[in-house]
Amino acid sequence: MKTQGEIESAICQGIRSCEQEYMGRGPKDVHAYLIADCVVVRLQGVLTAAEQHLVKSLPADKGRDLLKQVRTHLIETARPLLEALVPDVTGVNVVSLHHDISTVTGEEIVAFTLAEPPLLRETRK
């Protein structure tokens, strides 16, 4: 059994590795939050220079929509890896995965719904 902090840290490391593998570089910052039966991962600084240029060079809605489509496709491609990572760390199966990215801030959110809250070891006080 792991503490909440150990679970959150391991998920951050796994997500960072996945981003590096699929995008060629990792986010500038990544935080995971275990909230009952949900894991929310916040990645900052994920847009590559090419993606930033693409968003700026096209009309606002077209660049945004194109980037979101590409990122959604990448997440769907990586879904088996992501959906295996979370149960390995938490010991609980993933029910669903949700994703969105901001082309303005370069922030990405990945949320996992779990079958149940994971069992946690209490931290020493």
Question: What is the pLDDT tens value at each position of the chain, 125 positions in all?
Answer: 899 999 999 999 999 998 888 878 889 999 999 999 999 999 999 998 888 888 888 887 898 899 999 889 989 998 999 999 999 999 999 999 999 999 889 999 999 999 999 999 987 76
pTM to 2 decimal places: 0.90
Domains along the chain with CATH numbers: 4-114 (3.30.980)
Terminal Cα-to-Cα distance of the chain (whole angstroms): 17
Angle (CA) 112-119-95 rounded to 5° is: 25
* d(C-alpha 9, C-alpha 4), whole Å: 9
* d(C-alpha 103, C-alpha 22), whole Å: 18
